[in-house]
Amino acid sequence: MKTKDQRRNMKRELTGHVVTRWYRAPEIILLEKDYGPGIDVWAVGCIFAEMLGMMKENAPTFMDRQPLFPGKSCFPLSPAKNPQEQRKGFPFASNDQLAIIFQIIGTPSDADKSYVTDQKALEYLEQFSPISRADLKVKYPGASADAIDYLEKVLVFNPYFRITLQESLEHPVFTKVRNAQKEAITGQPVSLDFEKDDLDCDKLRELILTECEYYRKNK
């Protein structure tokens, strides 16, 4: 049994099953444990694409609007129940999340795959037939050149090649909607007192109920 201090000093592990499937970055799908803000950049890109898809020039009616990557399954996190085929020992479904992603951004090059640390994940990537990157200008004809440029820099397979959060904010596509004077950047890291506690399930449940009760009384 570890002491409280020992548990507190243990390296915090990042969960492997995060983000709603349609907005899940490739590094999460491939079960990379060392991921960072790039997963949020990817998700923002997916949402930005949906916003472009709401433009009448890109989707004439509401029936034409859809998510950018509407996968039906996500191997290995939530694999297809009845995969269409097996490729190199792995189940394959054309509507799997990574397969849908590759239809837009193309299959990754060796340089793109350089961040992948798991050999099984690399073998899994080898099952995909080569696909070229789609022309987003054709997919979103009503979008501005800046919007297309931003989307192309966000939807990048390798998180280290992907545009950063700060670069995203400084991208020309947001120039007209930003007000730098209203943007506050704190010089101190955010510290949440409850993170210092040794939380077990009972304590966590108690805190959640206390918080719910507070907002119920003060709504």
CATH label of the domain that carries residue 85: 1.10.510.10
Q: Please report, in tens digits, the pLDDT of each residue of the chain (219 residues total).
A: 444 444 444 344 444 445 589 999 999 999 998 899 999 999 999 999 999 999 999 988 888 889 999 999 999 888 888 887 888 888 888 999 999 999 999 999 999 999 999 999 999 999 999 999 999 999 999 999 999 999 999 999 999 999 999 999 999 999 998 888 888 877 788 777 767 777 788 888 888 899 899 888 887
Query: What φ, ψ does residue 175 adopt, rounded to 5°?
Result: -55, -45
Q: How many domains does the chain have?
A: 1
> Residue 131 falls within a domain, yes or no?
yes
Measure the CA dihedral 135/58/104/40, to 10°: 120
What is the spatial distance between Cα 97 and Cα 88, in angstroms, rounded to a whole number?
A: 18
92's enclosing H/E stretch is strand 90-92
Query: What φ, ψ does residue 29 adopt, rounded to 5°?
Result: -60, -40
The domain containing residue 118 runs over which residues? 21-177
> Residue 152 falls within a domain, yes or no?
yes
> Residue 122 falls within a domain, yes or no?
yes
> What pTM did the predictor assign?
0.77
> Residue 121 falls within a domain, yes or no?
yes
